Amino acid sequence: MAMIATQRTKRLACVIALFGALSISALAQITTLVSFDKTNGRDPGYPAAPFAQAANGDLYGTTAAGGANDEGTVFKMTLAGKLVTLYSFCSQSSCGDGAVANAGLVLANDGNFYGTTASGGITNAGTVYRITPAGKLTTIYKFCSVPGCADGWGPSAGLLQAADGNLYGTTVAGGAYGNGAVFKITKAGALTTVASFNGANGSDPGFGPLIQASNGNFYGTTIAGGLNTGCGTSTGCGTVFRLTPGGQLTTVYSFCALTNCADGYVVYGGLVQGTDGNFYGTTAQGGANSYGSIFQIAPPGKLKTLFSFDWTDGAYPEAALIQGTDGNFYGTTTEGGSGSGTLFVITPAGSLTSCIPSVCR
């Protein structure tokens, strides 16, 4: 656990650096702004959940452990690195307010932040919560994991506020078939299950939040399920899926479609839509060298592997990519380089430069 926590803290420091990173020179200088401990939180949102930035410039985020009850926190941090713990989860009896905030926050149009916890609530199935910038937390929904509960359980990805004003998210399990679900929830807490995964069209919709593309449809990834099992599991190697606002779920791509999974598999971080209209993401496993890959996928589903990691330039990327104003994509790996992971920048054409961790080559 200590090694995982160290890696997560490093990834958070990388995300802090990447927040304003728009060039190679920015990546060449890293400043650690804050170090987490059991008191102020441990294991910042996994995998490297992005910050939500308030209008005053402060950054808001979550930790999966630590805090007053060692079940995670919501924190606020200034750009100068001053950190304030706003809320410690499991402050209510039986963790009714939730526990283990794997996912980051989203700033909604009402000025409040919304997020999910992977456990706590009722039957330890997770929650959706609202928290004000000042730290007042309200649990607006508690998931159910007992038989007959079709809403799913264990939400580990962040929420998306869609064009219709509602919040959308996923659960890693439950739903109509037990393989996870997509849900819609109003800011008042009324939840609707939009779609359920049946294994063939995906399973375990991972840690990456949904995105709403320019065509109005939702896109996301699963870390299991799909048509291919070449990654050594009988449950499938994961998918990219499309969901219409009306609830029609379509598998856009099933990973491990190539020999030895040269296209990669296991997408933790989700997708980002580039300015060219294509989607970009990382696989934590597979690729030509089995250390993970970076891919581009067109909305209809044609996938192109842009880069395969080889340990020297990084290995096992888990966090989502960020597109800078220079048009390039920035990201992190959990291992490789000098051994503790790398920062990298990659062009849309697939030319990658890694920084390990403070010297770009």
133-142, long-range: CB < 8 A, 24+ apart: 133/54, 133/58, 133/60, 133/76, 134/86, 135/74, 135/76, 135/86, 135/87, 137/74, 137/87, 137/97, 139/96, 139/97, 139/98, 140/185, 140/187, 140/188, 140/189, 141/185, 141/189, 141/191, 142/96
* Average pLDDT score, the chain: 88
The percent of residues in the chain predicted with pLDDT above 70, rounded, is 87
pTM of the model: 0.89
Domains, the chain, ranges and CATH?
1-31+330-361 (no CATH), 32-329 (2.120.10.60)
pLDDT bin (cut points 50, 70, 90) of residue 42 is: low
- pLDDT for the residue 44: 63
Q: Mean pLDDT over residues 331-339, rounded?
A: 91
The percent of residues in the chain predicted with pLDDT above 90, rounded, is 73
Assign 3 to helix, strand or coil. Answer: helix
CB contact at 8 A, 64 and 72: yes
Among 147-151, 179-183, 211-215, the range scoring the smallest mean pLDDT is 147-151
Q: Mean pLDDT over residues 238-249, rounded?
A: 96
Token code pair at residue 196 = 């359920």
Q: Mean pLDDT over residues 221-244, rounded?
A: 95
